[in-house]
Amino acid sequence: MPKNLLVAPRVGHPWWRSAWLLGPALVAGVAYLDPGNVASNMTAGAHYGYLLVWVVVAGNVMAWLIQYLSAKLGIVTGQSLPEVLGTRIRNRWARRAYWLQAELVAMATDIAEVLGGAVALNLLFGIPLLLGGAITGAVSIVLLAMQTRRGPRHFEFVIIGLMAIIVIGFIAGLFVAPPDPGGVLGGMLPRFADSDSVLLAASILGATVMPHAIYAHSALTRDRFGSEEESRLPSIRTLLSITRWDVTVAMVIAGSVNLAILLLAAANLAGVEGTDSLEGAHAAITASLGPIIGTLFAVGLLASGLASTSVGAYAGAEIMHGLLTIRVPVLARRLVTLIPALIILGVGFDPTLALVLSQVVLSFGIPFALVPLVTLTAQRRTLGEYTNRRLTTALGVVFAALLITLNAVLLWLVATGA
């Protein structure tokens, strides 16, 4: 049953006094603006023009519902999704298997974020990729230390500040070279061109509906509202209403930026040689739109890597604690999870290809996070009077089915070499 004692019922909580309750969704929303998103959307726009606009829009609509359900679970139960599953999955080996796939998804996320930060530092300052990855990891450790020692509110302020830099960095180019309105409208028609476009669609969805963001959001609301004085909090119902606004703002920002990246590539990089890498895309943007826009793009990429890797590390720690009841210090865990990304950078593997492939891994992890989330939030024994409405559950089921179907098609294409 929900922990209704988490907050005390209150009536007439003014909206202007509720502004301080916003924030958890914006932090979780940074996961939708990580370097993997940049690579996937940039590649999609450069290779297929406006073809996959509909995938970005559909993914963002799905993300709104998913993130709201995750936040609701954390608010009503006072537990994160991994914590709830840790108590519901009674079989020890099944729980460990579930943790393993969630951990692999978190690691894939971390790889994308560290690689993106390394590439950005290389573009801005000429820093070698391996050193850039180490610097990105070091900054994330500082941010995580702030979250641990200063509390969730200070962490939110820093992440939201980085989000503002991300928005400016990735949207600025559209004011210099706006996309073709007819092309954008045509891109809203759902379709694919070939198997590679399906691969990119899965990559975009993996970067948009991110499994670790589902795990993280429930933990963020738990930490944020559980750390506030109970006397200052409104009722659960009011918190849920505020959370809907929080999620809406976060998803509008994330969706707009993701769409802007694809449109920027579609309008300026289509047919340009070498744009299948972040470095090549940066060079093409600089040549086409000028050095200022190119620099802003690189700065946005750096902010994306720094913010998202911190949120990803937070999610990974929560996954381990919730499912295995093992509390490894976040900073120690951060050092260990940096190793795969640093190895990839050290051996010279193409960073952009690694980014895109990491998003495909994320796409396969979506059902394992989404199906339990929809199931739990539809159960009265879990959320009590705050259980999902039938329409909400139906939409969750439809979204899960669509994502699972796309992943199955992608697996078939890869297996057959189509």
Domain 20-416 top-level CATH class: mainly alpha
pTM metric for this prediction: 0.86
Residue 4, pLDDT > 50, answer no
Rg for the chain (alpha carbons), in Å?
Answer: 20
For 133-149, the DSSP string reads HHHHHHHHHHHHHHHHH
pLDDT at 11: 40
In the three-class reduction of DSSP (H, G, I as helix; E, B as strand; rest coil), residue 325 is classed as coil
Contact 259, 183 (CB under 8 A): no
Q: Residue 167 and residue 303: Cα distance in Å, rounded?
A: 10
* Choice between 104 and 391, residue whose per-residue pLDDT is larger: 391
First and final C-alpha spacing in the chain? 48
Up-side HSE of residue 65: CA atoms within 13 Å toward CB?
Answer: 21
Q: Residue 270 and residue 410: Cα distance in Å, rounded?
A: 24
Q: Which residues contact 354 (CB under 8 A, 6 or more apart)?
A: 111, 112, 115, 344
251-291 pLDDT, tens per residue? 999 999 999 999 999 988 887 777 777 888 888 889 889 99
Up-side HSE of residue 78: CA atoms within 13 Å toward CB?
Answer: 11
Residue 5, pLDDT > 50, answer no
Q: Where are the domains of the chain?
A: 20-416
Lowest mean pLDDT, pick from 128-137, 185-194, 309-318, 359-368:
359-368
* Choice between 80 and 341, residue whose per-residue pLDDT is larger: 80
Burial class (CB in 10 A: 0-12, 13-18, 19+), 326: exposed
Confidence of residue 415 (pLDDT cuts 50, 70, 90): low
Contact 153, 243 (CB under 8 A): no
Contact 50, 214 (CB under 8 A): no
pLDDT at 379: 93
Residue 187, pLDDT > 70, answer yes
Lowest mean pLDDT, pick from 170-179, 305-314, 404-413:
404-413
Confidence of residue 346 (pLDDT cuts 50, 70, 90): confident
**To the nearest whole number, what is the mean pLDDT of the chain?**
84
Q: Per-residue pLDDT averaged across 293-299, rounded?
A: 94
Residue 2, pLDDT > 70, answer no
pLDDT at 128: 93
145-175 pLDDT, tens per residue? 887 777 777 888 888 899 999 999 999 999 9
Confidence of residue 122 (pLDDT cuts 50, 70, 90): very high
Burial class (CB in 10 A: 0-12, 13-18, 19+), 206: buried
pLDDT at 232: 60
